[in-house]
Amino acid sequence: MMIPPAIAQSVAATIPCMSKPVGPYTPSIRAGETLYVSGQLGLVDGTLANGLDAQVRQAVANLATLVEAEGGTLSNVVKATVLLDSIDDYAAMNVAYTESFGDHRPTRAAFAVDALPLGALVEIEAIAVLD
């Protein structure tokens, strides 16, 4: 099924501070009031932030930038998925993730994968419902 162009609107390409996608995908797509945000790495100007804590915080910041470009905030995120390079990083990820989201707690799944693009330690995707 193809998403009609009127639905598949993404302003991500017009955000100068965002790193370019590392694959053939759209960083975010809005379908009505729902915004789907592709997995975000902890990239700053195309370079991975140093260490897990910094990568988690930058991935959430990148996610926030995409949500804010559509008129929302992290409080609009209803579901997040966190991919970890190592499940041993779960507790440390939780600290940076919790501090980045503040008091808001969207539903979430977190699991380890064999590897992430560019050697990243974490990737975070999300679904937000916008007003």
To the nearest whole number, what is the mean pLDDT of the chain?
A: 89
pLDDT greater than 70 at residue 73: yes
Question: What's 9's DSSP letter?
Answer: B
- Distance in angstroms (rounded) separating the CA atoms of residues 107 and 102: 14
The pair of three-digit structure tokens given for residue 56, joined into one six-digit string: 């988690």
pLDDT in tens, 4-52: 444 444 555 455 556 677 777 899 999 999 999 999 999 999 999 999 9
Q: Is residue 49 part of a domain?
A: yes
Q: Does 20 reside within a domain? A: no
CA nearest neighbour of 42 among 77, 89, 105: 89
CATH code for the domain of 50: 3.30.1330.40
Task: Report how far residue 64's alpha carbon sits from residue 10's, in angstroms, rounded to the nearest whole number.
Answer: 14
Range of the domain at 77: 27-129
Tell me the three-class secondary structure of 50-82, residue by residue: CCHHHHHHHHHHHHHHHHHHCCCCHHHEEEEEE
Domain-embedded: residue 40: yes
Higher pLDDT, 12 or 88: 88
Indicate whether 2 belongs to any domain.
no
pLDDT at 62: 97
Please indicate, yes or no, if residue 108 is contained in any of the structural domains.
yes
Do the domain assignments include residue 93? yes
C-alpha dist (Å) from residue 83 to 33, 36, 67, 124: 25, 16, 19, 6
From the list 83, 4, 82, 72, the residue with the least C-alpha distance to 35 is 72
**pTM to 2 decimal places:** 0.87
What is the predicted pLDDT for the residue at 23? 75
Assigned domain for 115 exists: yes
Question: Using 50, 70 and 90 to split pLDDT, how confident is the model at 71?
Answer: very high
Q: How many domains in the chain?
A: 1
Q: Give the pLDDT band (50/70/90) at residue 66.
A: very high
